[in-house]
């Protein structure tokens, strides 16, 4: 079941990605809606991160094209922000929290222009939004994993983009940080921004996302979360992991997700 969107914020047509001539993503046709929180879900090795990287031009595509806001990425790059997996970052790099957040301003400033007072004010406001203003002068290496992820998010906010890609933003963070991140995403979507999230936790997917993309090397489904997160489509996506899926399917049928702590 693949819903096509009119006036999509992202359009992928016939995207295939291969590593060493082995297809990692196969023939992906996809449109994503404006001002939604979108989850990309599938098993390990399904190509979720590769899909996001192909949209961002970080991996070479073998065929097809990507459009954002009906244009090529290069024409709209300032409107697009990417938050990679936390593990892919060198957290020992000597930089303060404020320095990291100001990196989000470089697209507007140019790389060699010194940040102005107004940029620093934007950075501090973004830190406030993720409740990290008290850590502005700390070295990023001194922070916990959850705090680092909040700083990463503040850097993305400082870019003031319209479309955000986030690769596993909830991985390795505490419950309070996870709640803070999803609340921020909901605020962003109300402001007309689109947030695309690589995610692996099926239990929270129904609660977190308006729209879900199910992926396993090829596109299984894309559409409103309540129409896509069905036992049948999850079975097709995850294949043989039947015990897990039987439990998830039962939860989905009853719509009784384990209640998470509410903040």
Instruction: Give the separation between CA 232 and CA 179, rounded to whole angstroms.
Output: 29
pLDDT of residue 262: 41
Class of 10-84+163-254 in CATH: alpha beta
CA distances from 104 to 78, 91, 179, 180, 198 (A): 10, 16, 23, 20, 21
pLDDT of residue 95: 86
pTM, to two decimals? 0.85
Instruction: Give the separation between CA 206 and CA 214, rounded to whole angstroms.
Output: 13
- Strand 37-41 relative to strand 218-224: parallel, antiparallel, unpaired? unpaired
Domain ranges of the chain: 10-84+163-254
Q: Is the dihedral of CA 165, 187, 171, 220 positive or negative?
A: negative
pLDDT means over runs of 10, the chain (263 residues) = 87 91 89 96 92 93 94 92 79 84 75 74 92 92 88 91 93 87 93 94 90 95 94 88 53 51 41
CA distances from 242 to 214, 229, 234 (A): 17, 15, 10
3-state helix, strand, coil in the chain (%, to 5): 45, 25, 35
Closest CA to 181 of 145, 217, 233: 145
pLDDT of residue 251: 57
CB 51 within 8 A of CB 25: yes
């Amino acid at each position: 079941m693949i819903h096509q969107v009119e006036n999509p914020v992202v359009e992928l047509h016939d995207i295939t990605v291969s590593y060493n001539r082995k297809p990692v993503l196969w023939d992906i046709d996809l449109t994503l809606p404006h001002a939604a929180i979108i989850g990309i879900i599938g098993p390990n090795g399904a190509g979720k991160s590769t899909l996001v990287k192909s949209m961002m031009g970080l991996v070479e595509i073998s065929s097809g094209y990507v459009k954002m806001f009906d244009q090529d990425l290069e024409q709209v790059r300032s409107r697009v922000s990417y938050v990679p997996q936390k593990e892919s970052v060198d957290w020992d790099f000597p930089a303060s929290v404020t320095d990291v957040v100001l990196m989000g301003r470089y697209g507007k400033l140019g790389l060699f222009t010194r940040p102005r007072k107004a940029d620093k004010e934007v950075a501090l406001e973004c830190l406030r939004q993720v409740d990290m203003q008290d850590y502005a002068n700390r070295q990023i290496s001194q922070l916990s994993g959850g705090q680092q992820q909040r700083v990463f998010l503040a850097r993305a906010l400082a870019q003031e983009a319209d479309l955000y890609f986030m690769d596993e933003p909830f991985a390795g963070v505490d419950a309070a940080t996870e709640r803070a991140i999803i609340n921020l995403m909901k605020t962003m979507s109300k402001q007309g921004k689109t947030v695309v999230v690589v995610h692996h936790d099926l239990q929270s997917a129904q609660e977190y996302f308006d729209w879900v993309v199910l992926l396993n090397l090829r596109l299984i489904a894309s559409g409103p979360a309540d129409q896509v997160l069905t036992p049948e489509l999850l079975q097709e996506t995850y294949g043989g992991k039947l015990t897990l899926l039987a439990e998830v399917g039962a939860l989905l049928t009853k719509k009784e997700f384990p209640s998470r702590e509410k903040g």
